[in-house]
Amino acid sequence: MPWDFIVILAVLGLLVPWRGAVRIRQLLCQERLTTADRLALYASTLAFQWLAAAITLWRAVSHHVTLRQLGLALPRPWLAVGIGTGLATLVVLNQFISLRRMARLPEDQRGLMGQIARKVMPQTTVERLGFVALVTTVAICEEFLYRGFVQSIFQQAFVGSSIIGALFSAAFFSTAHLYQGKRGLASTFIMGLIFSAARILSGSLFPSILAHFATDLSAGLAAPALLQQAALATEAGQLVAVQGKRQAADGDSSE
């Protein structure tokens, strides 16, 4: 394997997970995040991912890795569109079910993903616009890096084994989400395998890009709204309980 490929794999497998985990931990330790904090996070992630994707594409092409091998072709357009649409629908439904389940839990039981949803996800219109740009970038760049480059490189290294390529791709992809904790590692590994299967069946990154975009966008836009509704419902329930106690106390005093 060429030395520059090894460097890229080291960055994806070691530097990206470490830096992501450190940065998210720092943000979660802050009592409150401002719009500037969120936009800075979105912008820095966006810039890094486009840079990483550009360098990776440059080095891959310089070693005569074809666009088709990287999943950047569309050999069967209708199959890719069909797989992408179906997969995107399924992951969005799963996302909403998971978010609604999390929103029903008390705040102290929502875990790490609850903290990320509350602090990092967009809260204002300006933040939502920045978040759309972010998830577009993440969907394109991460799918190219993990399902395109990593999957292709390991598939070639193991004599054309698409299964080995998919396993390594999912492993690198899940490691990149180290900041989500153990549960996040497991769920992203499974999602990575599903995305890799879509790439193998269609011969293109289009289905996984579409599904990745739908997953992240639905989470970013729905999570804050669902958590806010849950908070309002909790406050309303507490207010009703307080009023009930006061009425009961008033009734006892009148007797």
Residue ranges of the domains in the chain?
A: 3-240
- Dist CA 212 CA 90 (whole Å): 11
- Dist CA 163 CA 87 (whole Å): 20
Structure tokens at 57: 């594409």
pLDDT tens over the chain, length 255 residues: 899 999 999 999 999 999 999 998 888 888 888 999 999 999 999 999 999 999 999 999 999 999 999 999 999 999 999 999 999 999 999 888 888 887 777 777 777 777 887 888 898 899 999 999 999 999 999 999 999 999 999 999 887 789 999 999 999 999 999 888 888 889 999 999 999 999 999 999 999 999 999 999 988 888 777 766 654 444 444 444 445 555 555 555 555
What is the 3-state secondary structure of the chain? CCHHHHHHHHHHHHHHHHHHHHHHHHHHHCCCCCHHHHHHHHHHHHHHHHHHHHHHHHHHHHCCCCCCCCCCCCCCHHHHHHHHHHHHHHHHHHHHHHHHHHHHCCHHHCHHHHHHHHHCCCCCHHHHHHHHHHHHHHHHHHHHHHHHHHHHHHHHHCCCCHHHHHHHHHHHHHHCCHHHHHHHHHHHHHHHHHHHHHHHHHCCCHHHHHHHHHHHHHHHHHHHHHHHHHHHHHHHHHHHHHHHHHHHHHHHHHC
Residue 117: what pLDDT? 78
Residue 232: what pLDDT? 44
> What residues contact residue 243 under an 8 Å CB cut-off, 6+ apart?
none
Residue 233: what pLDDT? 46
Residue 117 contacts residue 169 (beta carbons within 8 Å): no
> What residues contact residue 128 under an 8 Å CB cut-off, 6+ apart?
122, 220, 221
Residue 234: what pLDDT? 46
